[in-house]
């Protein structure tokens, strides 16, 4: 017979367990007992639901199916909500920059963000919260009422009791008021009987029937189909029993058809009756109104969208289909309004425009206008020039004409004073004469200066020899400087052949003299010269 397997933390624990079992078999160690102090039979496995008849066991053991040893590390306590542990006087390093508490940072701070945090002001430091960690067992983690204070339910009871007390007080005041009116009037038995009826109406509120008892007449015990099999349940029938059944509204055989299986009557059983007096107009009335019509439109939209290639299915993803249908309706309304606005902007809206005065419609006025044979106005009304949205005929700085009324030498100006400066002040005819006199004087001075000056003789420019140019014939070289330039050129060529002779610090001189150029030409190798190998 198999025995239950036990998991050990280490080999040492396994060895000790084996020694203990051997000692118990030999009778040297006490037998293992259960929770009730009874000896456990080692021959009965602990996972068996019922012991065999030949084993003298008093009751079955199912300890392996439940955690029968409680772990001392688990706790049933809960968080102390809102508890504070320490109140600091100044800001501490590492605390929240906003409130100054050490138990959280500024991102997790639940206080209102201050204009200047506690880190900079060191004032109004918030106390540290009490942080607790619990190790809950299996049931504690899944207990939805863990940490609930049952004493808080007393508030709910007090609120309902206060409401009932206020109701009874109000009813008592109303009864006393009615009694006072009855004693003061005392005008006959009829009035007394009426007041008694009112008192009975006031007492109805206290004698209300329970809603569950009141609706018991509508209970129907029937078989309800479920996934796990049929079960008898209570189904409320919302139809009042006194109402006439819809298949009895019209007993004519040729009237609306009633399907007893589905209990449906789609057509109107009384089509000729007054619609204000009918309470039932057929099932099609509900199918073509309310949310049923919206659901029908939603299905049609899903089918059409699927036919056009969109991945939409009403039964597989109803939320997605409804969201797309809503977006479709919004876009359709926007497009419709945009089209309407475009048409109204182009052609106008005659329904909303103001009515045209009768004078304009009839075209009659008391003004007399004379025309010539060509249709031009001779007398009575001046021709109006079309105006633009810009300002016209605005004269500034004493000008009598607008800017741009005069043009000369590719410049705009004022016609009244012929000035080309826009912000200038108008000088009138005097300014025009002065400008013309100044122009004539300037022209005369230019002509006199051109006549007095003679053309200067062209100066001979002495060209220096440059890179790539021919040497002038009158170039005079210094023999001493030329010898030094030849030595420098030889050193430069030796350095190019052997870079090991180049010094670490190189001084570069950009100034090139005529002797340096002559030395470079003398040492230059012409590759097309057949005697180039005999130069050195």
Domain boundaries, the chain: 11-65, 291-347, 396-445
pLDDT beneath 70: ranges in the chain? 1-11, 14, 23, 25-73, 187-240, 353-354, 359-365, 381-387, 454-473, 499-509, 535-536
Q: Could you tell me if 445 and 453 are in contact, meaning their C-beta atoms sit under 8 angstroms apart? A: no
Length of the chain, please? 536
Residues 137-189: pLDDT tens digits? 888 888 888 888 888 899 999 999 999 999 999 999 999 999 999 888 876 55
CA distance 181 to 194: 12
This prediction's pTM: 0.26
DSSP assignments along 107-150, one per residue: TT--SPPPSS-HHHH--SPPPEE--------HHHHT-TTTT--G
- Tell me, what's the pLDDT at 171? 94
Give the HSE-up count for residue 151: Cα atoms under 13 Å, Cβ half-sphere: 0
Structure tokens at 369: 């206008």
Distances (CA, A) of 230 to 39, 227, 261: 48, 8, 20
- Tell me, what's the pLDDT at 204? 46
Per the DSSP assignment, residues forming a β-bridge with 413 are: 406
- Tell me, what's the pLDDT at 35? 52
CA distance 510 to 4: 101
Best CA proximity match to 166, nearest among 131, 200, 205: 205
Q: Could you tell me if 492 and 509 are in contact, meaning their C-beta atoms sit under 8 angstroms apart? A: no
Best CA proximity match to 72, nearest among 149, 7, 137, 138: 137
Distances (CA, A) of 439 to 95, 413, 429, 447: 84, 17, 15, 13
DSSP assignments along 177-229, one per residue: HHHHHHHHH---HHHHHHHHHHHHHHHTTTTPPPHHHHTGGGEEEEEE--TT-
Q: What are phi and psi of 129, to 5 degrees?
A: -80, 160
Pairing of strands 128-129, 411-413: unpaired
């Amino acid at each position: 017979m198999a025995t239950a397997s036990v998991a050990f933390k280490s080999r040492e624990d396994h060895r000790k367990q084996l020694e203990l079992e051997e000692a118990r078999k030999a009778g040297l160690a006490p037998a293992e007992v259960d929770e009730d102090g009874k000896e456990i039979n080692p021959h009965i496995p602990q996972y068996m639901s019922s012991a065999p008849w030949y084993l003298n066991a008093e009751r079955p053991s199912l300890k392996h199916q439940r955690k029968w040893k409680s772990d001392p590390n688990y706790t049933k306590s809960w968080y102390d909500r809102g508890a504070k542990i320490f109140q600091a006087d100044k800001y501490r390093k590492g605390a929240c920059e906003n409130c100054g508490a050490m138990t959280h940072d500024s991102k997790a701070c639940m206080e209102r963000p201050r204009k200047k945090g506690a880190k900079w002001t060191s004032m109004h430091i918030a106390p540290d919260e009490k942080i607790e960690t619990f190790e809950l067992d299996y049931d504690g983690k899944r207990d939805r009422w863990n940490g609930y204070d049952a004493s808080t339910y007393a508030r709910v009871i007090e609120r309902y009791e206060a409401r009932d007390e206020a109701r009874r007080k109000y009813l008592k005041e109303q009864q006393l008021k009615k009694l006072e009116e009855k004693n003061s009037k005392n005008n006959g038995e009829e009035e007394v009987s009426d007041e008694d009826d009112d008192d009975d109406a006031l007492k109805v509120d206290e004698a209300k029937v329970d809603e569950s008892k009141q609706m018991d007449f509508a209970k129907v015990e029937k078989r309800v189909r479920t996934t796990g099999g049929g079960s008898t349940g209570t189904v409320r029938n919302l139809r009042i029993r006194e109402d006439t059944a819809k298949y009895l509204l019209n007993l004519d055989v040729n009237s609306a058809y009633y399907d007893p299986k589905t209990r449906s009557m789609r057509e109107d059983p009384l089509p000729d009756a007054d619609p204000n007096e009918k309470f039932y107009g057929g099932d099609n009335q509900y199918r073509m109104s309310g949310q049923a019509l919206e659901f029908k439109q939603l299905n049609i939209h899903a089918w059409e969208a699927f036919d056009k290639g969109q991945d939409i299915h009403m039964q597989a993803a109803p939320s997605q289909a409804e969201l797309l249908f809503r977006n479709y309706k919004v876009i359709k309304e926007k497009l419709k309004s945009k089209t309407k606005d475009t048409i109204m902007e182009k052609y106008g809206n005659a329904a909303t425009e103001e009515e045209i005065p009768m004078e304009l419609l009839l075209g009659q006025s008391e003004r007399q206008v004379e025309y010539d044979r060509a249709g031009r106005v001779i007398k009575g009304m001046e021709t109006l020039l079309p105006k633009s949205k810009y300002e016209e005929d605005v004269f500034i700085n004493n000008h009598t004409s607008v800017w741009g009324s005069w043009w000369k030498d590719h410049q705009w100006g004022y016609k009244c004073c012929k000035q080309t400066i826009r912000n200038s002040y108008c000088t009138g005819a005097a300014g025009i004469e002065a400008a013309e006199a100044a122009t004539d004087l300037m022209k005369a001075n230019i002509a006199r200066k051109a006549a007095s000056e003679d053309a200067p003789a062209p100066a001979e420019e002495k060209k220096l020899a440059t890179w790539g140019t021919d040497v002038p014939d009158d170039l005079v070289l210094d023999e001493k400087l030329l010898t030094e330039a030849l030595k420098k050129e030889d050193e430069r060529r030796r350095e190019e052949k052997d870079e090991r002779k180049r010094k670490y610090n190189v001084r570069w001189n950009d100034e090139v003299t005529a002797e340096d150029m002559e030395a470079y030409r003398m040492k230059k190798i012409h590759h097309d010269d057949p005697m180039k190998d005999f130069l050195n």
